[in-house]
Amino acid sequence: MKMTAKKLKRLGLLWPALIIAGVVAGITVLVRYAGTDSIAVHLYYLPIMYAGYVFGDYGAIVVSLFSTLLCGPWMAARYELDKPIMQTPADMLVRMCTFYVVGLAASRASLELKRRAAEAHMLYEVARSITSTLRLHDVLDLIAQSARHVMDAKGCVIRLLDEDTDELVPAAMSGLSQEYWQKGKVVGAASPVNGRALTGEAVQILDVTQEEGFQYPEAARDEGISSVLTLPLRTKSGTCGIIRIYAKRKHRFTEQEIQLLTTFADQAAVAIENAELYEDIRRNYYETVRALTTAVEAKDAATYKHSERVSEVADRLAEAMGLDADEREMLRFGCILHDIGKIGVHEEALEARDTETPEQIFYQMHPLIGASILRPIGFLEPALDIVKHHHERWDGDGFPEGLKGQDIPLSARIVAVVDAFDRVQYAGGRGVKTVATKAALLEIVSRAGSEFDPGIVGKFHKMMLGADGAQAETEPDAEPASSAHSSSPPESGAAAANPTSATDADTEDPAATDAAPTPTDE
């Protein structure tokens, strides 16, 4: 029979209570024979302090009063010539006060130790998060939640300064209602309160509803907010934002609380600096990748802006299929680099891609060449599957390894569909669209189940006939503008999930909801 969490908790408190009762009973027997003036009476301090540690103030008070009662007037103070000498009322009063103070002190010391332990644990978790992930949003969320929990606050927010608009943009929030967080724009230097914080000052307000410099006092009153503490986020390059804690009631923050929030602010600043460094490195990687792609496109006219268009559409398809941010980032890198191996193939072989000539063999080697070029770059290892296998076919007749079905990596199956779709649309080369979206989709659908994963084709068909596909139909001859994915480095995302298995499950059954429709469906 399974025990509920409530029962386990009760059982966990029962054993300490039984231990305390047993120890008190044993000490009472000793005191009964030795007298209350003996050293044995001091043994009561042990269960009293233990009760304060386990049960807090109430436990300490109950055990101290119970111990005083056991040492009441019926207990002899001492024995002289085997005759009991009884206690005086003053002795009993002093003993009761002593027991009470010892119990209360033990309880308060226990609470302080637990609070310090919780602070240390939270700070450790935040530090570990900073070193284990470069996803800024996740780290700042953890810092806001930890600061709110450790300081027993009503809410906490971290805002980053947009220097162009002087707006403090919320980066992480914990507690309070969504209505309050969405109350409106929060200004930086233009606000008397935030301006002081951005200059490096710790700003605390006892009652925000009475503070003229505090924005949105009415919203604060509706939310039940009284006291707030605001500290700057300082990096090596200057102040980049603020962290603000909202007390549960009117409260004057102590120096210890300010120092604790300063520690959280410093950790947030470190996370922001790490994210900026990572972003710089990632941007440099991306620019290097684009330079390599440009070198390939200069050699093969048919691939003019092809990689950028494939990257954009494949990212949308991956998002529709539920891939997480990390997988999508590597997918975009793989798309940009999927034809990098052509740099090692002669132009005659590139022109023989669709002919059955000896030169075609050299063309079919470009995925292997590309993978060998990128293999030494550890950062791009997850993208190698795309570079190496994007020409594999669902029926196993592709190259270079002739993989079949779901033996082909999911990312390569996605890129294979988008790559072929783009080649159909831009068959003329030089970035000029020659085939309308619906006609190109019909061509891809007709090859589902033989060349392409039918499940992925079904999702792609559904996506392209949506809002983006309709927009593409309005300007069939226009050259597509470079999107955020093609003109800027891939965005970093949230903590990784694992949707690949679910996606694979979708692609196993061609007759599923998202399976590829037949060409007659058009």
The pLDDT mean for the chain works out to 80
Collapsed DSSP state (helix, strand, coil) of residue 14 = helix
Torsion on CA atoms 488, 489, 495, 500, rounded to nearest 10: 100
Token duo for residue 516: 């590829």
Tell me if 6 is assigned to some domain. Answer: no
Per the structure, the count of domains in the chain is 3
Q: pLDDT tens digits for 106-165?
A: 888 888 788 777 777 777 777 776 666 667 888 888 889 888 888 888 999 999 999 889
Gap between the Cα atoms of 439 and 437, Å rounded: 6
Per DSSP, 87 falls in state P
Same domain? 222 vs 315: no
Torsion on CA atoms 140, 142, 143, 144, rounded to nearest 10: 90
Q: pLDDT tens digits for 441-461?
A: 999 999 999 999 999 999 999
Same domain? 336 vs 481: yes
Tell me if 199 is assigned to some domain. Answer: yes
Gap between the Cα atoms of 87 and 22, Å rounded: 25
Same domain? 265 vs 226: yes
Tell me if 257 is assigned to some domain. Answer: yes
Same domain? 239 vs 326: no
Instruction: Specify the pLDDT at position 471.
Output: 53
Tell me if 202 is assigned to some domain. Answer: yes
Q: pLDDT tens digits for 254-288?
A: 888 898 889 889 888 888 888 888 888 878 877 77
CATH of the domain at 368: 1.10.3210.10
Domain that holds residue 48: 12-118
**Minimal CA–CA distance to 275: which of 418, 160, 426?**
160
Q: pLDDT tens digits for 315-370?
A: 999 999 999 988 998 999 899 888 888 877 776 666 656 556 666 677 788 899 88
Tell me if 125 is assigned to some domain. Answer: no
Token duo for residue 326: 């990390």
Same domain? 309 vs 336: yes
Which of 76, 91, 118 is the last residue before a domain boundary?
A: 118
Same domain? 356 vs 458: yes
b vs e for 405-426, b when ≥16 Cβ sit within 10 Å of the residue's Cβ? eeebbbbbbbbbbbbbbbbbbb
Same domain? 166 vs 113: no
CATH of the domain at 237: 3.30.450.40
Which of 69, 91, 118 is the last residue before a domain boundary?
A: 118
Same domain? 407 vs 475: yes
Same domain? 451 vs 507: yes
Q: How far is CA 489 from the centre of its chain?
A: 21
Q: What percent of the chain has pLDDT over 90?
A: 24
Same domain? 460 vs 500: yes
**Minimal CA–CA distance to 492: which of 287, 311, 310, 275?**
275
Give 48-78 as a DSSP string: HHHHHHHHHHHHHHHHHHHHHHHTSTTSEEE
b vs e for 328-365, b when ≥16 Cβ sit within 10 Å of the residue's Cβ? bbbbbbbbbbbbbbbbbbeeebbebbeeeeebeebbbb
Q: How far is CA 395 from the centre of its chain?
A: 39
**Minimal CA–CA distance to 104: which of 151, 152, 63?**
63
Q: pLDDT tens digits for 32-86?
A: 888 888 888 889 889 988 888 888 888 888 888 888 888 888 888 888 877 888 8
Q: Are 393 and 277 in contact (CB under 8 A)?
A: no
Tell me if 124 is assigned to some domain. Answer: no
Tell me if 425 is assigned to some domain. Answer: yes
Same domain? 105 vs 156: no
Tell me if 294 is assigned to some domain. Answer: no
Rg (CA), the chain: 35
**Please, how many CA atoms are within 13 Å of residue 172, restricted to the half-sphere of its CB?**
26
Token duo for residue 159: 């805002």
Gap between the Cα atoms of 288 and 277, Å rounded: 17
Which of 73, 91, 118 is the last residue before a domain boundary?
A: 118
Q: Are 388 and 400 in contact (CB under 8 A)?
A: yes
Same domain? 109 vs 37: yes
Gap between the Cα atoms of 213 and 193, Å rounded: 6
